[in-house]
Copies of this chain bind each other. A is one copy, B any other.
Amino acid sequence: MATIKDIAKLAGVSVTTVSRALNGYSDVNAKTRQKIEQIAKEIEYSPNALARSLVMKQTRTIGLLVSGLSREGAKDNIVFDVLTGINEYCGAQDYDLVLFNTTSSKQKEKTYAQLCRERRVEGVIVQGIKKDDPYLIEIFESNIPCVLIDVPVENETTGYITTDNVDGSMKAVRYLAELGHTNIAMINGHDQAFVSKERRKGFELGMLEQGLPIRNDWIVNGEYAELKAEQVGQELLSEYPEISAVFCASDLMALGVMRAAKQMGKKVPEELSIIGYDDITLASYVTPALTTIAQDTFRMGYAAAELLIGILKQTEESRVRLIENELKIRETTKEKT
């Protein structure tokens, strides 16, 4: 593979000159430059980013730590959307992305900092990390610039992207209350997710605001899984037939509840209103189409990359970006009769 040395030899100049010419420095004779560029093209030279990074101490590379990069992740397209957003902005800024293997057994032995430092990534975007993940503390303690998706951690080098989950959930409750529902249950995710807490809080605040009673036995965990939500939903709905509306902390769980209702012969939305959270692709395609609190996951990814690169360039003061969410009314909600 051709190097600048080869070019230097062919052009009869020093490697320094070649380096300068190829990097567009001004202090190079126009003729020399032309000759060098000509030769570079001829021998199909491509700069060795490794060598350059080694001496420049920057790689223009961002690491990606994604937990949901698994088969199940395909159902909700969240991980994918975020990734797409990240890719979009990083591409525009000429940063490359490296996907870290957290799946690998070998890799799991490495600490977070090791993972990052080895590859000399300039920053990291972390997605789908849980509260109890040991990496989380490391992320906070290390001084590697990092942006987390939906995990509120903040310091000099760490920031995060999220939506207002409290407000989002309140919107859902408010809408259900507007429709005349008073017996509202909630299927929440699991305790290892930060957003769960928030969504629950929003649910409770919303109920309070609407003067509705909060019943702890009407708030159950669905583990963010469709099947689990179907099970607990069925239990809940058969034990308390008076429940007329369910707010779910994810669309996938809402789909589970829809299935539960169907099996029990409970008509949605006539006998049961359901609101989900996320607005995944499936939400608008199922029948009846799911009313949900929509998050713009693409923008979350885009903003994450924006924030991270802002931190890297030190042009960014803030460490938090809040993305809007929005109630999308579709067909699973209806006035209480």
Which residues in A have some Cβ–Cβ distance to B below 8 Å?
Answer: 1, 44, 46-51, 53-54, 59, 61, 69-71, 73-75, 77, 79-81, 83-84, 87-88, 90-92, 94-107, 113-114, 117-120, 255, 281-282, 285-287, 298
Q: Is the CB of A50 within 8 A of B48?
A: no
Give 25 CB contacts A-B under 8 Å.
A44-B113, A46-B113, A48-B118, A49-B118, A49-B119, A49-B120, A50-B50, A50-B54, A51-B54, A54-B54, A69-B83, A71-B84, A74-B80, A77-B80, A80-B80, A87-B99, A90-B101, A91-B103, A91-B104, A91-B107, A92-B105, A94-B101, A98-B99, A99-B99, A281-B281
| Complex alpha-carbon distance, A112 and B234, angstroms | 54
> Across the two chains, which residue of chain B brings its CB closest to A142?
B44
| Complex alpha-carbon distance, A210 and B120, angstroms | 60
With A48-B54, A50-B59, A69-B87 given, name 19 new contacts (CB 8 A).
Answer: A44-B113, A50-B53, A51-B54, A69-B84, A70-B84, A73-B84, A74-B84, A79-B80, A88-B103, A91-B104, A92-B104, A94-B104, A94-B107, A96-B99, A97-B98, A99-B99, A255-B285, A282-B285, A287-B287
> Across the two chains, which residue of chain B brings its CB closest to A94?
B106
| Complex alpha-carbon distance, A96 and B50, angstroms | 15
Counted per complex, copies of this chain come to: 2
A84 / chain B contacts, CB cutoff of 8 Å: 69-71, 73-74
| Complex alpha-carbon distance, A282 and B283, angstroms | 10
| Complex alpha-carbon distance, A50 and B56, angstroms | 12
| Complex alpha-carbon distance, A80 and B74, angstroms | 7
A47 / chain B contacts, CB cutoff of 8 Å: 118
User: Whole-angstrom distance from the CB of A253 to the nearest CB of chain B?
Assistant: 14
Q: Which 10 A-B pairs have the closest CB atoms?
A: A91-B101, A91-B104, A74-B77, A46-B117, A287-B287, A91-B103, A97-B99, A80-B80, A46-B114, A49-B118
Partner of A50, one of B88, B103, B120, B255: B120
